[in-house]
């Protein structure tokens, strides 16, 4: 499992990321790629704002009676021959999956893209228990070869440049006997990965996928992909396991459709993803293919605790990635600096809830509160407001730095006493202004090294406005 403690080392990790030239080259593509494509998609779709409202309304309604919708889901899923398992903790979820596999003698598991599996640390756990895991999503496959964690929720290997991927393939594919390609273009790399993976799909005895959402009224799970890998993962083997967190349920298919209308547009700028697959129970006698068994593992891992708190709105998230695609902080440091499964603004809002503010306190602080994430979030999640909420929790628990607390206390004490404030700031500005001399700037300044390491500090004018104003009137 990704070590949650890494989230506490955000400052060091982000400094490293800023100095990593390959990463910086990879991140530069965010602006030209994802941002531009989303803008186009939104402009093409006149009703986008209405679609957003509808999706938000659907999810808000769901969360109000989450327990009821989950029960309906379980009942319907069972009617269709599926089995629902409830997991409160990551350990519970891992154990349930392992038992499903070992009871059936499964040795090889193919896997579609699922962030929940990262969240519960599934791959490492299964491998330690003798089960081979084959990632079938191209991005997940690349980082599996590199033995890394995803750095983006929809583009897990976004931090890798093409030459780096070509290198990985050289190391891992040359001995497989699969058809190889020149590895000069992205298309070459995709073709080669396909050739290698095609053989592997057939080896798997079970397939595991996530779910973009679950539909209560039909007991179905729905995934959207562009590579079609999810379909092969869930239809070829005899056992299909769906891993999903509890907030993924929506009451009706129509609610799911409301989400689909904004999901791909926000994520990749497509009107729809290439494949949208609805799975309802195992294969029926009349079906041409499909698994013999269909299991859904519903994971809570702290979600139900969030209900009713000011951070509950993060549960509307549909994991489209738009917030990170547009975040200048994510764009500067990439996903690994966040130190846990969910990077970018949604990570900064969600990680403190799942790992605790103490561990994750940097993430909601490392934001200029510019609000671009909220602006593009299809589910209108007020991410900056949630960052502030975590900062409030941090301050109340006295987890922020003593220097910060002292500074705020002194400043606040003064700012609430205008006359004294006027005297103190008047004197301070006079001194600073004189010290600056003719250059009108400071190249370094006591207690302001964070500023002056890269910026000059502009000198104040000398007399404050309010002190001058008193003489005018």
Closest approach of another protein to the CB of residue 356, in Å: 16
Sign for the pseudo-dihedral over CA of 384, 389, 395, 397 = negative
Closest approach of ligand SF4 to the CB of residue 438, in Å: 49
The site partner of 346 among ligand SF4, another protein, none (C-beta below 5 to 8 Å per kind) is ligand SF4
- Candidates 280, 372, 380, 383; binder of another protein (CB under 8 A) is 372
Residues in 438-457 at the binding interface with another protein, rule: CB under 8 A = 439-441, 448-451, 453-457
- Candidates 58, 84, 155, 333; binder of another protein (CB under 8 A) is 333
Distances (CA, A) of 472 to 15, 466, 469: 49, 10, 5
- Candidates 402, 416, 446, 471; binder of another protein (CB under 8 A) is 416
- Candidates 379, 386, 436, 459; binder of ligand SF4 (CB under 6 A) is 379
Contacting range for ligand SF4; rule: CB under 6 A; set: 239-247, 296-304, 311-319, 455-463: 311-319
The site partner of 330 among another protein, ligand SF4, none (C-beta below 5 to 8 Å per kind) is none
- Candidates 336, 374, 378, 386; binder of another protein (CB under 8 A) is 374
Q: With respect to ligand SF4, which residue has the nearer C-beta, 134 or 320? A: 320
Spatial CA neighbour of 356 closest among 393, 307, 405: 393
Closest approach of ligand SF4 to the CB of residue 345, in Å: 6
6 lies in the site for another protein, by CB under 8 A: no
Strand ordering across the sheet containing 108-111? 83-87, 293-299, 239-245, 206-209, 108-111, 132-135
Sign for the pseudo-dihedral over CA of 410, 413, 416, 418 = negative
Q: With respect to another protein, which residue has the nearer C-beta, 292 or 466? A: 466
347 lies in the site for ligand SF4, by CB under 6 A: no
Contact 243, 93 (CB under 8 A): yes
Contacting range for another protein; rule: CB under 8 A; set: 79-87, 167-175, 180-188, 397-405: 397-405
Closest approach of ligand SF4 to the CB of residue 461, in Å: 42
Q: With respect to another protein, which residue has the nearer C-beta, 276 or 425? A: 425
Q: With respect to ligand SF4, which residue has the nearer C-beta, 77 or 323? A: 323
- Determine the Cα–Cα distance for residues 157 and 135; give it in Å rounded to an integer: 13
The site partner of 328 among another protein, ligand SF4, none (C-beta below 5 to 8 Å per kind) is another protein
Q: How many residues sit close enough to ligand SF4 to count as binding (CB under 6 A)?
A: 14
The site partner of 429 among ligand SF4, another protein, none (C-beta below 5 to 8 Å per kind) is another protein
392 lies in the site for another protein, by CB under 8 A: yes
29 lies in the site for another protein, by CB under 8 A: no
User: Phi first, then psi: what are they for 89, rounded to 5°?
Assistant: -120, 165
- Candidates 23, 189, 222, 317; binder of ligand SF4 (CB under 6 A) is 317
318 lies in the site for ligand SF4, by CB under 6 A: yes
382 lies in the site for another protein, by CB under 8 A: no
- Candidates 323, 357, 363, 386; binder of ligand SF4 (CB under 6 A) is 323
378 lies in the site for ligand SF4, by CB under 6 A: yes
> 3-class secondary structure for the chain?
CCCHHHHHHHHHHHHHHHCCHHHHHHHCHHHHHHHHHHHHHHHHCCCHHHHHHHHHHHHHHHHHCHHHHHHHHHHHHHHCCCEEEEECCHHHHHHHHHHHHHHCCCCEEEECCCHHHHHCCHHHHHHHCCCEEEECCHHHHHHHHHCCCCCCCCCCCCCCCHHHHHHHHHHHHCCCCCCCCCCCCHHHHHHHHHHHHHHHHHHCCEEEECCCEEECCCCEEEEEECCCHHHHHHHCCCEEEEEEEHHHEECCHHHHHHHHHHHHHHHCCCCCCCEEEEECCCCCCCCCCCCCEEEEEEECCCHHHHCCCCCHHHHHCCCCCHHHHCCHHHHHHCCHHHCCCCCHHHHHHHHHHHHCHHHHCHHHHCCCCCCHHHHHCCCCCCHHHHHHHHHHHHHHCCCCCHHHHHHHHHHHHHHCCHHHHHHHHHHHHHHHHHHHHHHCEECCCCCCHHHHCCCCEECCCCCCHHHHHHHHC
- Candidates 69, 319, 361, 391; binder of ligand SF4 (CB under 6 A) is 319
Q: With respect to another protein, which residue has the nearer C-beta, 173 or 336? A: 336
- Candidates 320, 333, 348, 353; binder of ligand SF4 (CB under 6 A) is 320
Residue ranges in contact with another protein by CB under 8 A? 11, 14-15, 18, 31, 328-329, 332-333, 365-372, 374-375, 388, 390-396, 400, 404-405, 408-409, 411-412, 414-416, 418, 421-422, 425, 429, 439-441, 448-451, 453-461, 463-466, 468-470, 473
Residue ranges in contact with ligand SF4 by CB under 6 A? 266, 317-323, 345-346, 377-379, 381
């Amino acid at each position: 499992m990704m070590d949650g403690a890494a989230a506490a080392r955000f400052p060091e990790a982000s400094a490293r990321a800023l100095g990593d030239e390959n990463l910086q080259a990879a991140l530069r593509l965010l602006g030209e790629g994802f941002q531009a494509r989303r803008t186009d998609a939104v402009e093409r779709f006149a009703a986008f704002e209405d679609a957003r409202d509808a999706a938000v309304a659907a999810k808000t309604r769901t969360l109000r009676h989450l327990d009821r919708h989950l029960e309906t889901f379980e009942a319907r899923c069972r009617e269709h021959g599926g089995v629902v398992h409830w997991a409160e903790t990551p350990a519970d979820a891992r154990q349930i999956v392992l038992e499903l596999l070992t009871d059936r003698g499964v040795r090889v598991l193919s896997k579609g893209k699922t962030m929940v599996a990262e969240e519960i640390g599934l791959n490492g756990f299964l491998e330690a228990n003798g089960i081979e895991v084959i990632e079938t999503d191209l991005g997940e496959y690349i980082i599996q070869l590199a033995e890394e964690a995803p750095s983006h929720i929809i583009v897990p290997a976004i931090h890798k440049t093409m030459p780096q991927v070509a290198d990985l393939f050289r190391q891992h594919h040359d001995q497989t006997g699969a058809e190889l390609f020149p590895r000069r273009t992205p298309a070459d790399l995709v073709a080669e990965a396909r050739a290698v993976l095609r053989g592997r799909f057939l080896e798997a005895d079970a397939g595991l996928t996530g779910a973009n959402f679950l539909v209560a009224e039909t007991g179905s799970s729905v995934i959207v992909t562009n590579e079609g890998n999810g379909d092969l993962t869930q239809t070829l083997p005899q056992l299909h396991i769906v891993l999903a967190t509890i907030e993924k349920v929506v009451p009706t298919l129509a609610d799911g459709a409301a989400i689909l209308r904004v999901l791909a547009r926000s994520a990749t700028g497509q009107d729809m993803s290439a494949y949208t697959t609805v799975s309802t129970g195992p294969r029926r006698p009349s079906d041409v293919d499909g698994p013999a068994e269909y299991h859904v593992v519903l994971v809570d891992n702290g979600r139900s605790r969030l209900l009713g708190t000011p951070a509950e709105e993060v549960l509307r998230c549909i994991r489209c990635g738009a917030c990170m695609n547009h975040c200048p902080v994510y764009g500067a440091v990439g996903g690994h600096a966040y130190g846990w499964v969910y990077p970018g603004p949604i990570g900064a809002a969600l990680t403190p809830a799942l790992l605790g503010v103490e561990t994750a306190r940097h993430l909601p602080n490392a934001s200029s509160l510019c609000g671009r994430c909220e602006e593009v979030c299809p589910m209108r999640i007020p991410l900056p407001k949630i960052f502030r909420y975590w900062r409030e929790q941090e301050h109340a628990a006295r987890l922020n730095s003593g220097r910060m607390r002292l500074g705020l206390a002194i400043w606040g004490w003064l700012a609430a006493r205008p006359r004294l404030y006027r005297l103190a700031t008047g004197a301070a500005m006079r001194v600073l202004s004189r010290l600056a001399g003719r250059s009108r700037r400071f190249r370094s300044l006591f207690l302001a090294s964070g500023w002056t390491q890269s910026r000059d500090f502009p000198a104040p004018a000398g007399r404050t406005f309010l002190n001058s104003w008193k003489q005018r009137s």
